[in-house]
């Protein structure tokens, strides 16, 4: 009985691993097809976010050298895999070349002189959503600063 249980468990693990591998290959193939159709002079990066089941594709037509050997962008369109298709889920931008768009597993970040934003994929709504936002505002005339933080 133990042998049968072990064999069934092993078989189930192999099937699960195989299905995950196939889904991943299909995802890569779908993104590859989409990328192959982008116009020339389009640049892209993949962001692997904890909030997203699939990689997020960031596409721009303008990059600059942020550091030696490091290309960056201050605006991009964001694409995501939904129902087997790569679709646009939003656009983001930063305020200038001192604040390139960045990403980590926790989100995609934009910034400016007195603000910063963190975006993530909202799987239920199928959009890129602003998850956190911080801003410093100066009162006209007095210069008194006020700080806002939104979750």
pTM for the predicted model, two decimal places: 0.78
Mention every residue, 6+ apart, whose C-beta is less than 8 A from residue 4.
none
CA–CA gap between residue 114 and residue 111 (Å, rounded):
8
pLDDT tier, 71 (very low <50, low <70, confident <90, very high otherwise) = very high
Per-residue pLDDT at 151: 83
pLDDT tier, 89 (very low <50, low <70, confident <90, very high otherwise) = very high
Mention every residue, 6+ apart, whose C-beta is less than 8 A from residue 100.
66, 72, 73, 74, 94
Query: DSSP characters for 133-149?
Result: EEEEEE-TTT--EEEEE
How confident is the model over 28-54, as a mean pLDDT?
92
Residue 22 has pLDDT above 70, yes or no: no
Per-residue pLDDT at 6: 35
């Amino acid at each position: 009985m133990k042998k049968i249980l072990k064999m069934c468990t092993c078989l189930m693990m192999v099937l699960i691993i195989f299905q995950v591998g196939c889904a991943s290959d299909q995802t890569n193939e779908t993104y590859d097809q989409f990328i192959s159709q982008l116009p020339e002079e389009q640049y892209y990066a993949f962001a692997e976010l904890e909030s997203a089941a699939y990689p997020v594709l960031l596409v721009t037509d303008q990059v600059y050298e942020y550091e030696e050997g490091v290309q960056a962008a201050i605006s991009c369109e964001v694409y995501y895999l939904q129902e087997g298709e790569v679709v646009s889920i939003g656009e983001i931008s930063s305020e200038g070349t001192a604040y390139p768009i960045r990403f980590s597993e926790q989100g995609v970040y934009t910034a400016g002189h007195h603000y910063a934003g963190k975006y993530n994929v909202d799987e239920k709504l199928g959009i890129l959503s602003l998850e956190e936002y911080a801003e410093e505002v100066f009162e006209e005339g007095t210069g008194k600063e006020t700080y806002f933080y939104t979750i």
